[in-house]
Structure 1
Amino acid sequence: MDGQRLSREGLSRRSFLAGDISEGSQRGASLSSALVTPPFAAYVLGRLGFGPRRGTAFSVQQFNALGATDDARLTAFVDQQLSPTLDSGGHVTDPDVAARLAHENFVTLDKSFDQLWLDHEVNGSLSGQPYTRDWPIREVERAVFVRAFYSRWGLFEQLADFWHNHFNVYGYDRYAAPTFVSWDRDVIRKNALGNFRTMLQKTFEAPAMLYFLDNYINRAPSFNENYAREIIELHTLGSINYLGPDLQQNQVPLIPAGQPGAGWPVGYVDADVYELARSFTGWTFYRGGGSNPNTGLPYLVADQHDIGQKTVLGEFAAANTPYASEHQRFLDRLAYHPGTARHIALKLAKRFLGDDPPESVVAAAALEFWNNRNAPDQIKKTLRVVLLHDGGPGSFRDLGNFGNKTKKPFEAVVSALRAVNVDFTIRRNDSASDGFMDRFRRSGHRPFDWRAPDGFPDHTSYWMGGGAYVHAWRTVDWVLDQNLGTDQTPLAPVLTLTLGEFSTAPADHTPNNLANFWLARAFDWAPNGTTGWRGTELHYQVASFMCRNTDTVTYFGADVGIGNGPAGNTAGIGTDSGPNYWYSRLRGMVDCVLFSPQFMVR
């Protein structure tokens, strides 16, 4: 584009982010049709975490050092990520994250369930006292950003998000908010790579789940089916194994001999839901009232429990079966049914491979899940198969998958801020953090803020609407423009990184150079080892943005040093005064990189 000039109505940041070429462009194509296939390392890091970050275990350089071939590197990386460092309590730990979460504004993350209940449920809204009921959820939703920004265990953070959505509860719900630290730490994260049956049991005992799905009001002689239906339809067998409203239990075909679960019903019908709901009658949690303690612990109200005989998916419980035995047998049947194995395998494959994953991968992962149903690392083994099974086209190692998934708003914001090396510990009771969260919530993807029991959608089409990404972009744009403290230190060191790459000499800061540097910085790779991103449509557009000056009719050539051009400001790229506003334009150019179609896909 050397020597070309853009019209006064040339490329704006808004039109760029919409994926359109400006009227002044002589190329006239959509950026979305000009994606550049990344190297295997960058593709993997974008799928199994929140994108590359230079100088960390999630950098292209570190990934490429793991072996001599892509297959060897992928295997080593997956095994590394599936074996994160654990603390004495069996929780995943990372020193960088731990240091940030030790900030004085985090006061609930280390509290036990009992302490959370006492401090934030029993005493969290007392008259004349600070209102603390929602402190736990507010701290967890901020901690999830901190972990995504800085943890070396990116795959684990992706998996924790997967299970939070699989066993979704609304974080600000009545009994979820004050106990959410325990839900996140002890139910989800503690079991994310462990045994599915164990995690299912933990959800079954949590007041957040029992309240969210109305089991606390499930009482005989009638019953409330909400929890029973969702535990079958969402948490275990899934709707893919629902046989419709017309069949009775004795009409359901059985799994043939020689197959996993032989002799069990092949799927479920409405009667299985009703029978399970009867089994769950009376199962609630202590929340005070009368002579009852106020502890949040689960228990059975005996005179509200249906003691009649029941059958769920072929598992029979005679009348007067002790409730604990009855519950365990039915939960066992749900967790160990091969339909559950397939449901979980399919969801994992859709999360990490694409919306239409290969059947060979799903089948292999489902078998691994079922074969290891009693193993303490069942989920870890299953996910390893999902990621390493060579199922041909569409399997994880197929680079042709690139672009078949878009980043959800959370992933888009996190990956963007990682790329610019943001130094920002988002926390409770902090004005900048509150400003960040207020902007991000408008994207519709605030953590733990999905009110339906099915969790945030994980299919690409849902997130393709413009509103979600507009507010994600505005969140990043706000961070790039934000300065904090008495010294007004930028949250995102855009200028520092730029000057560190080149020098303070204005002649080095050409639109071509700046575009090339920031594209390579954001993606942690370049198409050409010598020329970088030059010659690509994306480089052309990013450099064009930097050439354009909205206040004059004179535009810079792509290789003219900023400060040396005919309408230049000799103070250079760090100045932000008229007519050029170079520092603002630099940040705007970085915005364009971070929300380009190339950056927004995985």
Structure 2
Amino acid sequence: MGRAGLSRRTFLAGSPVEGGSRGAGLSSRALTPPFAVYVLGRLGFGPRKGTAFSVQQFNALGATDDARLTAFVDQQLNPTLDPGGHVTDPDVAARLAHESFATLNKSFDQLWLDHEVNGSLSGQPYTRDWPIREVERAVFVRAFHSRWGLFEQLADFWHNHFNCYGYDRYAAPTFVSWDRDVIRKNALGNFRTMLQKTFESPAMLYFLDNYINRAPSFNENYAREIIELHTLGSINYLGPDLQQNQVPLIAAGQPGAGWPVGYVDADVYELARSFTGWTFYRGGGSNPNTGLPYLVTDQHDIGQKTVLGEFAAANTPYASEHQRFLDRLAYHPGTARHIALKLARRFLGDDPPASVVDAAAREFWDNRTAPDQIKKTVRKILLHDGGPGSFRDLGNFGNKARKPFETVVAALRATGVDFTVRRNDSASDGFMDRYRRSGHRPFDWRPPDGFPDHSSYWLGGGAYVHAWRTIDWVLDQGLNADQTPLAPVLAITLAELGAAPALHTPNTLANFWLTRVFDWAPDATAGWRGTELHTQVAAFMCRNTDTVTYFGADVGIGNGPAGNTAGIGTDAGPNYWHSRLRGMVDCIVFSPQFMVR
């Protein structure tokens, strides 16, 4: 973190985590950006110059902010698909074609055979974890480089909604299929279809213990989570005291009229009985070792059951029984409201307007059998003209703190990093080793509820400090004479600002990089000059090695008095100008202005 006393620590004394400050402290120190910057930061991982996810491209989509937002949302909700129906991007596809990504195109059957059945055989390379390691790295590749930022946000949303710990026993060797065939394939599609896919996955059946759910007793874990987390949500739980026959019914004329308004514990127990015997083939005895789901008939409870008012008589065929119950869960208006509320929290703020949630819940329910149900619901949320607090309201800016993943990705996008994180690569391993300490490693959340989406959870010092350390490592990485820097800070400075030392004043460098990182400036003429952030960033470049005196803010580096004769491309003592230039960029992406969206 800097040399010769030029630590970033002084700058970070005003950081968003100092003294445990809250989200309000973050947003109160941030300037409101133009609408384009707000949209790109909220619907993706921030603008990236020269791409489809840039301010320039957004502003070219229409004559007004409303027109541009509508065009952009419709563009993002209709991404390019490959022949298999999966979202694709040429740049991402080329990067993921690298030989280090050996599992991403394997079918479920091939994954099971190669990485479960044969993944840890004596005398063979250990390959069980290759699929999860490649998927977690591919997440960074897509977030860094894909033009479909909104889709990547939705993929992350659904991974957390149907959370599966990626390194779990049967998740790790098959995680490519979970990510590709269960989550990403259905992220804009039909919720009931996605629910069915999760229900058939060995990763989920093992993670939530349904593989050992058998009659005459039963294990309620999966049944409880599929109601409490995946469908109706705890907002529709009516408490431990009510029985099923005491639950009020939805009024006539309302979605789901005649159904129970919510669920009670008895619904969980009845569903758990319905799920008894539902497991997957994992070898042993005469059973095949395929990972495919099946019913162990002599472990299934054949008695009558009632779930949320849906009655199944004794000896109902299992396929019919569980389909009816999954239908009731997926199509219940409480599920519509639960999903709408979570989506609104992701894109609008921690406390979204009731009017938007209500409209989105109705859209979700009205389109419950539509193949593009989720797409329609997301569009309703983003384009709903609900006044204050709706997505169109620029006043939302700053009400969500960036989580560590969003922070790191946004920072590397803004600084022009060209990095393909992959398996079996020393730089990638160094990156992942540092990043995992932030507590936000992809697919590494062990409870079934997924990473928290509320800003308050992420405002502790540990999460941000390790995200910053990851960014700092990337900006410092590869700086030996025979290495290409991962972050071309110096090259961008010289190419875009100019190579003349007279242009490299602290004030000019600070203004240039503030404008480039944020892709906007508060003033068309002065840029960021005059703002508190510019003053602090420029002062970082001016500070002398005695940490007390300062160089002149308008004196060109390498063009000044004694002690200031080496240019910004040099990295010798006492000033270490190249390191200090990168440190200045660190200060910008560590600022409260960058930490909110």
TM-score scaled to structure 1, two decimals? 0.96
Aligned to 2:20: none
Contact 1:287 1:293 in 2 (8 A): yes
Write out the 4+ residue segments of structure 1 that deviate beyond 4 Å after TM superposition: 9-12, 551-554
The answer to whether the aligner puts 1:185 opposite 2:180 as a matched pair is: yes
SS in 2 for 1:311: strand
The answer to whether the aligner puts 1:163 opposite 2:158 as a matched pair is: yes
SS in 2 for 1:306: coil
Q: Measure the CA separation in 2 of the matches of 1:292 and 1:31.
A: 57
> Which of 252, 260, 263 is equivalent to 1:268?
263
> Which of 580, 585, 597 is equivalent to 2:580?
585
Aligned CA distance change for structure 1 residues 129 and 72 (closer, same or farther; 3 Å) = same
Aligned to 1:24: none
Aligned to 2:518: 523
The answer to whether the aligner puts 1:40 opposite 2:35 as a matched pair is: yes
Q: Deviations 1:542-568 (Å, cap 9, x if unpaired)?
A: 101111123475421110111123343
Contact 1:554 1:567 in 2 (8 A): no
How far residue 571 of structure 1 moved from its aligned partner, in angstroms, is 3.3
* Structure 1 residues 63-102: aligned runs within 5 Å: 63-102=58-97
> Which of 322, 338, 341 is equivalent to 1:343?
338
The answer to whether the aligner puts 1:237 opposite 2:260 as a matched pair is: no
How far residue 423 of structure 1 moved from its aligned partner, in angstroms, is 1.0
The answer to whether the aligner puts 1:288 opposite 2:289 as a matched pair is: no
Aligned to 1:481: 476
Q: Deviations 1:164-189 (Å, cap 9, x if unpaired)?
A: 00000000000000000000000000
Aligned CA distance change for structure 1 residues 361 and 534 (closer, same or farther; 3 Å) = same
Code of the residue aligned with 2:518 in structure 1: it is: F
> Which of 299, 304, 317 is equivalent to 1:322?
317
How far residue 487 of structure 1 moved from its aligned partner, in angstroms, is 2.7
Return 483-492 or 567-576, whichever deviates more.
483-492
Return 319-328 or 564-573, whichever deviates more.
564-573
The answer to whether the aligner puts 1:561 opposite 2:556 as a matched pair is: yes
Aligned to 1:463: 458
Code of the residue aligned with 1:350 in structure 2: it is: R
* Structure 1 residues 68-467: aligned runs within 5 Å: 68-467=63-462
Q: Deviations 1:221-247 (Å, cap 9, x if unpaired)?
A: 000000000000000000000000000
Aligned to 1:573: 568
Q: Measure the CA separation in 2 of the matches of 1:567 and 1:122.
A: 69
Q: Measure the CA separation in 2 of the matches of 1:536 and 1:189.
A: 42
Code of the residue aligned with 2:313 in structure 1: it is: A
Q: Deviations 1:331-370 (Å, cap 9, x if unpaired)?
A: 0000000000000000000000000000000000000000
Aligned to 1:505: 500
How far residue 20 of structure 1 moved from its aligned partner, in angstroms, is 5.8
Code of the residue aligned with 1:365 in structure 2: it is: A
Q: Which runs of 5+ in 1 are unaligned?
A: 1-8, 22-29
Code of the residue aligned with 1:516 in structure 2: it is: N
Aligned to 1:26: none
SS in 1 for 2:279: strand
TM-score scaled to structure 2, two decimals? 0.96
Q: Measure the CA separation in 2 of the matches of 1:594 and 1:202.
A: 39
Q: Measure the CA separation in 2 of the matches of 1:71 and 1:243.
A: 41
Code of the residue aligned with 2:354 in structure 1: it is: E
How far residue 502 of structure 1 moved from its aligned partner, in angstroms, is 2.5
Code of the residue aligned with 1:67 in structure 2: it is: G
Aligned CA distance change for structure 1 residues 387 and 552 (closer, same or farther; 3 Å) = closer
Contact 2:474 2:487 in 1 (8 A): yes
Q: Measure the CA separation in 1 of the matches of 2:68 and 2:413.
A: 23
Q: Measure the CA separation in 2 of the matches of 1:565 and 1:231.
A: 67
Q: Measure the CA separation in 1 of the matches of 2:450 and 2:63.
A: 40
Q: Measure the CA separation in 1 of the matches of 2:27 and 2:332.
A: 43
SS in 2 for 1:489: coil
Return 570-579 or 468-477, whichever deviates more.
570-579
Q: Deviations 1:372-423 (Å, cap 9, x if unpaired)?
A: 0000000000000010001110000100001000000000000000001111
Q: Measure the CA separation in 2 of the matches of 1:552 and 1:179.
A: 54
Q: Measure the CA separation in 2 of the matches of 1:330 and 1:477.
A: 51
Code of the residue aligned with 1:345 in structure 2: it is: A
